[in-house]
Amino acid sequence: MAKIEKEQAKMDLTRKFDDRGVPLSQIAAERDELRLKKDNMLRHVTSMVHDRSGGEPLTSVKFYNLFVSLHCYTDFGKGAEYLPCEVALCEWTIADGVLRSCSYLIEPDRIPAGYKSRCRDISEATHQVPLGHPGAETNFPGVWIRLKNFIKPSFRVYPLERLLYELFHAAGEPQLETSCGDLLKQGHFDYLTDLACPFHQGIDNSKFCMLAMARRQAFTVLDRVVGHFGVELVPGRHVPQSKNDAGVAVREKEPDLPTEYKLLSAGPSRFRGGDRETPVVPDHAGHLAQRFAKQPGQP
């Protein structure tokens, strides 16, 4: 009986703990919950792109790119705190290209004890927005409301790679999902300063500006997919007009409350900045922005 009890104990995850004292059964349950959420999310993206029966054509569907940079994060997992620094949205359709955009610098109401140095390190390495910036928004709930109004109905966030993967399939040009992820990391428009917000234009740091990232991702996707949908590529809407004239998104008067959105990118660029192609470089800030953006929601 003792031997049987010992064997049963080995299989009982409620009696095993990790180095933090968390039962392994809880960790397994959380992992299963995340897997189920991801499966449901991927099914929704597939249905949204391919099931257009009775709805508007896919080329007219509005998508939203969301990027968020951080002052700092405290940890990983459910107990983590993420302090946003800049949030940006860019609206686009396959037919009409980039339509609207908005962005906000955000001042956190508090910094967790011991994390100011991490804030400085992240700022110096990426976005260069200092704590206490006079132009930053201090009303975070107000920013959230304006973002949701910008997108209107609901606010679910899905991974860019999957959306791009489904768009290629819908266009009859299937790609591997890993290839779609690689396309998102290409930097065809990384150094077009006019895509950035006024703050990042002023310090010549468009590469780590969230507004520039949101617009670049829209242009990258559109550059690759519009031709497959029979849409004529229009400079200034589907790609920047030139290296020195790329600020095409129109910032309209912002509404008073929240919305929904989405993200994308894609393959060989037809854009030329002057007489040569804009250099391609990896995006070192994307991991922070995308990690923060991937929360439950809808495109």
pLDDT tens for 227-248 read 899 999 998 899 887 644 433 3
Could you give the dihedral angle defined by the CA atoms of residues 90, 93, 97 and 101, in that order, rounded to the nearest 10 degrees? -20
Average pLDDT over the chain reads 75
pLDDT of residue 17: 64
As a whole number of angstroms, the distance between CA 89 and CA 67 comes to: 7
pLDDT of residue 18: 63
Give me the mean pLDDT over the 205-211 stretch. 92
Q: Residues with Cβ < 8 Å from 93, sequence gap 6 or more?
A: 59, 60, 61, 62, 63, 99
What Cα–Cα distance (Å) separates residue 92 from each residue in 26, 212, 216, 294, 299?
Answer: 41, 14, 12, 19, 12
pLDDT of residue 282: 32
* Helix (H), strand (E), coil (C) string for the chain: CHHHHHHHHHHCHHHCECCCCCEHHHHHHHHHHHHHHHHHHHHHHHHHHHCCCCCCCHHHCCEEEEEEEEEEECCCCCCCCEEEEEEEEEEEECCCEEEEEEEEEECCCCCCCCCHHHHHHHHHHCCCCCCCCCCCECCHHHHHHHHHHHHCCCCCCCCHHHHHHHHHHHCCCCCCHHHHHHHHHCCCCCCCHHHCCHHHHHCCCHHHCHHHHHHHHHHHHHHHHHHHHCCCCCECCCECCECCECCCCECCCCCCCCCCCCCCCCCCCCCCECCECCCCCCCCCHHHHHHHHCCCCCC
Q: How confident is the model at residue 77 (pLDDT cuts 50, 70, 90)?
A: low
Give me the mean pLDDT over the 14-21 stretch. 64
Does 170 or 270 have the greater pLDDT score? 170
CB atoms within 10 A of CB 103: 23
Look at the pTM and tell me if it is higher than 0.85.
no
- Decide if pLDDT at 284 tops 50: no
pLDDT tens for 253-264 read 333 333 332 333
